[in-house]
A and B are shown apart, each in its own frame.
Chain A
Amino acid sequence: MVKKQIIKSDYDRARVVEESIISEAQANGFSDVDVFAIRLALEEALVNAIRHGNRLDPHKKVTVEWCVRNKELEITIEDEGKGFLPNAVPDPTQDENLERPGGRGLMLMKAYMDCVEYNKQGNIVRMCKKLHCCGK
């Protein structure tokens, strides 16, 4: 069953949704290592939606949908911002970017989830994590 929550652009509210998704992942048998990965990716995606997407505008909403089916957790996060071009984000692991304080969120999401996809506008991200029988 797909679950859905629409929240204000507020970190505390985002964290409540985050805990709901983490609880569901744990209840469905995701390992501690997978839960660490899901929490990290969720945190980055929600902060991106609130800070970069909605620019902390309290009138703009973030819509979060998630479900576990076919041994996979799928999460979709939509903000009301203009979107961005994921491919235009500089690679933070390049030598010249290593000491830049920002720009690692998207990279971590991709590293820790099995799939990370954006819509054309760049304001909706879909992430998935497969359930591994013995941890990843």
Chain B
Amino acid sequence: MTQDKPRLTIEEVGGVKIVTLSDQRILDELSIAKIGKHLNDLVLQNPKIKIILDFVNVTNMSSSALGMLITLHKRVREAGGELRLCNIQPTIQEVFKITRLDEIFQICVSKGEAIDSVE
């Protein structure tokens, strides 16, 4: 397992936190819990956070990962912030569509589009 590998990288562009998920497969329950905790802490530390999740590396996701994203979405909204998802591969985009979660999340094609939409 890759327990010690960072699960995400965070950069800041013009007050917008850009979180790039490092793993190709977001399936493992323990990893998902760790990512969720990290993102939750980020929201708690940054009221009215503007946050972009970049899925450029992600090729597989489970329903547990979707659940983690839904919880994050609620927390960002409650904190008065904004959340965008970007660079989602077509196969995963289909998962969002089938589950109707594309109606919940604001999904942008690229990181640039996501930044423009929150600035």
> Given A33-B91, A92-B99, A101-B68, A108–B63 Cβ distance below 8 Å?
yes
Asked if A47 and B64 make an inter-chain contact with CB atoms under 8 angstroms apart, the answer reads yes
Q: What is the bound-complex CA distance between A108 and B96, given in angstroms?
A: 10
Q: What is the bound-complex CA distance between A79 and B27, given in angstroms?
A: 20
- How many residues of chain B get a CB closer than 8 Å to chain A's CBs? 25
A67 CB-CB contact with B under 8 Å: no
Asked if B62 and A47 make an inter-chain contact with CB atoms under 8 angstroms apart, the answer reads yes
Q: What is the bound-complex CA distance between A28 and B52, given in angstroms?
A: 39
> Given A99-B74, A99-B104, A105-B63, A40–B99 Cβ distance below 8 Å?
no
B70 CB-CB contact with A under 8 Å: yes
With a cutoff of 8 Å between Cβ atoms, the chain A residues found around residue B99 in the complex are 92-93, 104, 107-108
With a cutoff of 8 Å between Cβ atoms, the chain A residues found around residue B110 in the complex are none
How far is the CB of A69 from the nearest CB of chain B, in Å? Answer: 26
- How many residues of chain A get a CB closer than 8 Å to chain B's CBs? 24
Asked if A36 and B60 make an inter-chain contact with CB atoms under 8 angstroms apart, the answer reads yes
Interface membership of chain B positions 21-65, coded 1 if the CB is closer than 8 angstroms to chain A and 0 otherwise: 000000111100000000000000000000000000001101110
With a cutoff of 8 Å between Cβ atoms, the chain A residues found around residue B100 in the complex are 93, 98
B101 CB-CB contact with A under 8 Å: yes
Asked if A11 and B29 make an inter-chain contact with CB atoms under 8 angstroms apart, the answer reads yes
Nearest-neighbor residue (CB-CB) of B98 within chain A: A111
With a cutoff of 8 Å between Cβ atoms, the chain A residues found around residue B74 in the complex are 99
Q: Is the interface of A mostly helix, strand, loop or mixed?
A: helix
B71 CB-CB contact with A under 8 Å: yes
> Given A11-B28, A36-B91, A111-B98, A101–B71 Cβ distance below 8 Å?
yes
Ordered by A's residue number, 25 sampled pairs between the chains whose C-beta atoms are within 8 Å are: A11-B29, A15-B27, A33-B91, A36-B59, A36-B60, A36-B91, A40-B62, A40-B95, A43-B60, A44-B63, A47-B29, A47-B62, A93-B99, A98-B100, A98-B104, A101-B66, A101-B71, A102-B63, A102-B67, A104-B66, A105-B63, A107-B99, A108-B95, A108-B99, A111-B98
Known contacts A40-B62, A105-B63, A107-B98; 14 additional CB pairs below 8 A are A15-B27, A36-B60, A43-B27, A43-B62, A44-B62, A47-B64, A98-B103, A99-B70, A99-B104, A104-B63, A104-B66, A104-B67, A108-B95, A108-B98
- Where the two chains meet, the residues of B that have a C-beta atom closer than 8 Å to any C-beta of A are 1, 27-30, 59-60, 62-64, 66-68, 70-71, 73-74, 91, 95, 98-101, 103-104
